[in-house]
Amino acid sequence: MRLHILGICGTFMGGVAVLARALGNAVEGSDQNVYPPMSTQLQALGITLRQGYLAEHLQPAPDQVVVGNAMKRGMPAVEYMLDAQLPYISGPQWLGEIVLPGREVLAVAGTHGKTTTSSLLAHLLDQDGRAPGFLIGGVPGNFGVSARLGGSGASSGGPSAAASSAMAAPFVIEADEYDTAFFDKRSKFVHYRPRIAILNNLEFDHADIFPDVAAIQRQFHHLVRTVPGNGRIIVNAEDPRLAEVLSMGCWTAVETFGIEAGHWRAHLKQDDGSHFEVRRGDTVLGEVRWSLLGRHNVMNALAALAAAAAYGCDAAALLPLFASFANVKRRMEVIGTVEGVHIYDDFAHHPTAIATTLDGLRARVGDARILVALEPRSNSMRQGVHADALAPSLAEADQVLFLQRAGLAWDAGKMTRALAGRGHVAPSVDALLEALNFAVRPGDHVVFMSNGGFEDAPRRFAAALRAQPPGSPAPG
C-alpha cells in the first residue's frame, strides 16, 4: 500500500511513518518544515519527503492519505485531497485501526510528563524482556527512535517476563489530549483503546482548542470510558482535577500514586529527586537512584512503575533499571559544560513544568546561579494564557531572558516587572544570545526553555562561549 502522510515531520506523524514503513507499506510525505533530525531518520528508512503542502505531491494518487492535525482547510494539498475524493484517515485513527489491535496498549496521558513517562515505561518493559512497541513524541535516549512495532509477546530476557508469557505484546503510546484532525475534533487518545491508562496530571493548556479546563476534563473522561473493566487506570493521587474526572464515572480498577498520598508512594532520600524509596501500600519495595531531577520526575517514575506492574512485571525487580534510563532529548538535556558554564536544553513550556524543572535543578546545584532563556512558543503561551503564572514559576531563576518576538499577543513587561530586576526582554534570538553571553559567568547553569526549535539557541550559545569565554574582552 502506498501512503502519503501530510505533516510527516512532526514527532507523532513521523512515528506513524516509521510504523507504516515497518509494516511494509511504501511511505512518502509532505511537511512545511523538512529538517533534521526527523527528516534524516525518515529518509534513512527510504521515505521520500516533499517540502510544502502542494496538490502535486498527491499526484499520482496514493492509496491512502494519512492526515496530521496541523493540516487545515485552505491548504492546497487538503483541498485537492477532498476535491479528488482521495481516501484519507487521521494519524491517530490509522494507528488505532492498523497497529494497536491485538496488542496490550498502555497509554500515558497528562498535561505534563507524557514523553518522559512513556519513554520510561517502554524502557522498563524492554529491560524486563517484554519487547514493547511504542510511539513517543520525542526520541527516547535508550532507543534512539521515536517509534517501533515491538515484538510478538513476552520473551525470557527479563526478570519477570516468564511469569506472564501468554499476555499480548505491549505497546506504549503517548496519549495526547490535543485534537485529532481538522475533520475529527476529538482528542487523539480516544482512538487508542488502552487496557492500562496513566492519568499523570491535568491543567489548563491548549487554549487554541479548549475554552476552559472543564473541556479538557471531558476529553479525559472520554478516555476513561474506553478503558475496559478488566484493565487498570493509574491516577495521580495529588491532582484534584483528575479526581473530578473519575467522579464523572469510572468502570475500571484504579490505582493511585503520589509522594504525599496514593497506593504507590515515594520517600525522597535526596531533595533533588535523584534518590528515593518506593513503597506500595505499607510495603517498601526498594530504592531508586537515577540521573533525573525534580519531584515531577519522581511522580513520572511512580506512574511508569505502577503501569508496568499492572502489565504483569515484578515492580521490585524493575527498580535497578531506573539507573540505566536515558531521558528523552530536550528534557533537561545536558548540552555540555563550556568554560565552566553548564548548558541545558529543556522542553518546558507551561508554568507548572517550568517551576518543577527549576526546583529540581535548584535542589541539585545549591547556591549556584541559574539563568533561564525562555521562548514563549506554545499557542497558550503566545496568547498570554499563562502570563500571570509565569513570573512565580521562575522563582528559582537568578536571571531570565525572555524572547519577545514581534507579534506576541501580550506585553512581557508585566512579567519582567514581577521578576523585580531579574527579568529582561530580547526582541530576537541574536539579541538574547548577546545579552546572555554578557551576563553569564563560570559556574552558572543556563537553561533554554522552549517547545519549539528556538533557532538552535542552546548550541549557538555553547559555540559563542567557546569563541569568547566569559569575562574575556570582545574581539576588536
Q: What is the pLDDT of residues 63-117, one digit of tens each?
A: 999 999 999 999 999 999 999 999 999 999 999 999 999 999 999 999 888 999 9
**pLDDT band (50, 70, 90) for residue 387:** low
Closest by CA position to 341, among listed 462, 194, 179, 166: 462
Quick one: cell of 255? 490505582
Is the overall model pTM greater than 0.85, yes or no? no
Domain 2-91 -> CATH class: alpha beta
Return the CATH number of the domain spanning residue range 333-467. 3.90.190.20
**How far, in Å, CA of 243 to CA of 258, rounded?**
13
Q: What is the pLDDT of residues 391-418, one digit of tens each?
A: 788 888 999 988 887 766 667 777 778 8
The answer to whether residue 34 scores a pLDDT higher than 80 is no
Domain 100-324 -> CATH class: alpha beta
Position 466 scores a pLDDT of 87
Q: State how far Cα 223 lies from the chain centre.
A: 18
Residue type, 39: S
The answer to whether residue 157 scores a pLDDT higher than 60 is no
Question: Scanning the structure block, which residue is given the C-alpha cell 521515536?
Answer: 146
**Sequence spans of domains, the chain:** 2-91, 100-324, 333-467
Residue 141 has a CB neighbour count (10 Å cut-off) of 16
Mean per-residue pLDDT, 294-317: 95
Answer whether 402's CB lies under 8 Å from 427's CB.
no
Equal CATH topology for 2-91 and 333-467? no
Position 106 scores a pLDDT of 98
The answer to whether residue 261 scores a pLDDT higher than 80 is yes
Position 17 scores a pLDDT of 95
The answer to whether residue 162 scores a pLDDT higher than 70 is no
Position 39 scores a pLDDT of 77
Least confident of 60-64, 129-133, 149-153, 414-418: 149-153
Q: What is the pLDDT of residues 36-70, one digit of tens each?
A: 667 777 888 889 999 999 999 999 999 999 999 99
**How far, in Å, CA of 211 to CA of 214, rounded?**
8
Position 204 scores a pLDDT of 75
Position 476 scores a pLDDT of 44
User: Given its phi and psi angles, is residue 273 left (phi above 0), alpha (psi -120 to 50 degrees) or beta?
Assistant: left
Share the mean pLDDT of the chain. Answer: 88
